[in-house]
Structure 1
Amino acid sequence: MSPERLALQILCLNDFEAAARARLPRPIFGYVQGAVEDNLSFRMNADAFRQYAFITRTLTDVSGRDTRRHLLGKTYASPFGICPMGLLGLSCFEGDLNMVGAARDADVPCIISGASMIPMEEIARHAPHTWFQAYVKGNPESYRPMLARIDAAGFRTLVEQRAHRLYDAAATRAAAVHGCCHAPEVAVRHAAADACQARHAVFRELVRAAGGADFFPHGQS
């Protein structure tokens, strides 16, 4: 299907699913689209976001509106970004490069997964402001060579789940912890990181996991 024809058929984000189902091999589509067991957590996450809506305003001057936001040493064009997606290359040739390139062109934050199928050095050259999500395990002696490689590649923001590990990441300019879901966790983890990311991906792993939007008010408090 040509990009022009696809553009006529994709009228909303949900339309991508039908197009992907028709194009991808069934096991790969199932991996990308599916969640744990009966997909209940997946549906709960979507339902949580459906509870929020925009409120329109009339007779309001919008000529001075500015969506730019400064975050971890850089100003971005929009307060939206892309979370890490591992094994993206399964569903698209050089999918990781396509993703970080799109974020670069849109000037929004993007986190590359440590499970990327593209070498981190190539990712950094393609989109220098990409954040890197590292899977840091073991003792410091075992993971410090990886941190050195991340720094040498040019990444300046490191994302990790274990806040105490970030003390060893002095080479990076900023550090963020992802997966925080409630206020006490955010408060504790801020002690070791520059930011906390309320990222919700456990619907792929845990039945009846709360939707991402469900814990936004708690994180803000």
Structure 2
Amino acid sequence: MRLDQLLSVGDFERRARSILPRAVFGYVNGGTEDCLTLDANREAFRAVQFRPRGLVGVADRSQSVELWGRKYQHPFGIAPMGVTAMCRHRCEWDLAKAAANTGIPFVLSGLSTLAMETVREADPDFWYQGYIPGDREVIQPLLNRLQSNGVKVLVVTIDTPLGANRENNQRNGFTIPFKFSQGLFWDGVRHPRWSANVFARTLLADRAIPRFCNVVADPHGYRITEEPKGGFRSGRDRLDWTHLAWMREVWPGRIVLKGVAHPDDAAMAERMGLDAVIVSNHGGRQLDGAQGSLDALPDVVAAVSSQFPVMIDGGFRRGTDILKAMALGARMVFMGRPFLYGASVAGQEGVQRVIDILGSEVDRNLGLLGCREMDMLNREFIVSKGR
């Protein structure tokens, strides 16, 4: 299928479903327990409607946004995603390169399998997202490695102190650490395109099992099939504000908190001298029954000063979704699954096509709203309907 025949993120999702083994697609697409948070993310957009203005002249439009003095071409970026190698060989390269070519931020997950030293060649300005344990002896060497790789933006995820109950993964036989099984083998056989691009290329080209090589200071990390010493999530439940205060003292770059849902946490981050927050519920993959990200956004924006950037992720699929978040005060929108669908279908070209689709949707609907620039968007252009 030609990529120009895929017209929306939904088209890419359906195509990715046909390419990826059921267990892999379930890992990418699923949530936790009853998927209440997953559903809440999408429902939140349906509860916000536009109120456009007319006769304002929208011939000269720009969707660029500025963050910390840097201009980005679109008001969206690529969110951190772990274990993307399950969807595409060297997937992080495809994501990073497309982001760099288009002028949008790419956030590298700590649970990635392509070393940051290599990712840097694709996108020298990548952000790094870490699952940080409450242990300074572990944090400091990791910070040193990040600095040596020119990382300027550190994203600390705070909504994963414990592993979530992802029943769908267990039912599909998909676990981290990854375990091979007869069911997964036959799942791969029934999806030959995935087997050729991911399984075969990993074994033939890399001649090794992928490793989580960016989660700690040691670039060798550990194999995705093994449980690291102390456990997969060792020490995350000890991370608290004192560690962030210390990191603020020793880390010279930007620090962004990801996974913020409560306005008091955002206010604390600003008082502590951190640089931004990302309103997020981990894409519905952690606490089930949590508020949708878009629903949580207004209170978080109200809790901080207008100079403090509030970003968001969770459930975004259309340019109109992005515009609703920007009207509610977001400075940048991050998306994960849409770009992973693009990479699963066609690598870097697929990611680029998704970026182009979303960019076109933002441009078209920005004009239809009666706006020339993203800075013009505010609550005057939206209305919330009762649920």
- Residue identity opposite 1:95 in structure 2: C
User: 42, 57, 61: which is aligned to 1:61?
Assistant: 57
User: 2, 27, 32: which is aligned to 1:31?
Assistant: 27
1:218 alignment counterpart:
299
1:127 alignment counterpart:
123
User: 103, 108, 111: which is aligned to 2:104?
Assistant: 108
Q: How many Å apart are 1:168 and its aligned residue?
A: 5.0
How high is the sequence identity, in percent, across the aligned residues?
31
Q: How many Å apart are 1:92 and its aligned residue?
A: 1.4
The one-character-per-residue Cα deviations of 1:91-150 (angstroms, maximum 9, x if unpaired) are 112111111222112211221111111101111221011110122214222221111011
Matches within 5 A, 1:85-104: 85-104=81-100
Matches within 5 A, 1:124-203: 124-160=120-156, 161=158, 163-171=244-252, 173-190=253-270, 191-201=272-282, 203=284
User: Contact 1:140–1:168 at 8 Å: present in 2 too?
Assistant: no
User: 16, 27, 37: which is aligned to 1:41?
Assistant: 37
1:83 alignment counterpart:
79
User: Contact 1:72–1:174 at 8 Å: present in 2 too?
Assistant: no
User: Contact 1:177–1:195 at 8 Å: present in 2 too?
Assistant: yes
- Residue identity opposite 2:118 in structure 1: E
State the structure with more CA Rg.
2
Distance in 2, Cα, partners of 1:80 & 1:169: 29
Give the SS at the match of 1:81: strand
Q: How many Å apart are 1:33 and its aligned residue?
A: 1.1
Distance in 1, Cα, partners of 2:98 & 2:89: 14
**Structure 1 segments of 4+ aligned residues over 4 angstroms from their partners:** none
Give the SS at the match of 1:17: helix
Pick closer, same or farther for the CA change 1:42–1:121 going to 2, 3 Å: same
2:341 alignment counterpart:
none
Q: TM-score, normalised by structure 2?
A: 0.52
User: Contact 1:144–1:168 at 8 Å: present in 2 too?
Assistant: no
2:4 alignment counterpart:
7
Most deviating of 155-164 and 181-190: 155-164
User: Contact 2:281–2:290 at 8 Å: present in 1 too?
Assistant: no
User: Contact 1:166–1:192 at 8 Å: present in 2 too?
Assistant: no
Distance in 1, Cα, partners of 2:79 & 2:40: 19
- Residue identity opposite 1:212 in structure 2: S
- Residue identity opposite 1:19 in structure 2: R
2:202 alignment counterpart:
none
Distance in 1, Cα, partners of 2:132 & 2:31: 25
Q: TM-score, normalised by structure 1?
A: 0.89
Distance in 2, Cα, partners of 1:165 & 1:67: 37
Give the SS at the match of 1:205: coil
What is the RMSD computed on CA atoms of the aligned residues?
A: 1.9
Distance in 2, Cα, partners of 1:42 & 1:138: 28
The one-character-per-residue Cα deviations of 1:26-78 (angstroms, maximum 9, x if unpaired) are 11111011111232221111111222344433322224433222213422112
- Residue identity opposite 1:83 in structure 2: A
Q: Which has the higher contact order (CA 8 A, sep 6+)?
A: 2
User: Contact 2:281–2:287 at 8 Å: present in 1 too?
Assistant: no
Distance in 2, Cα, partners of 1:202 & 1:15: 20
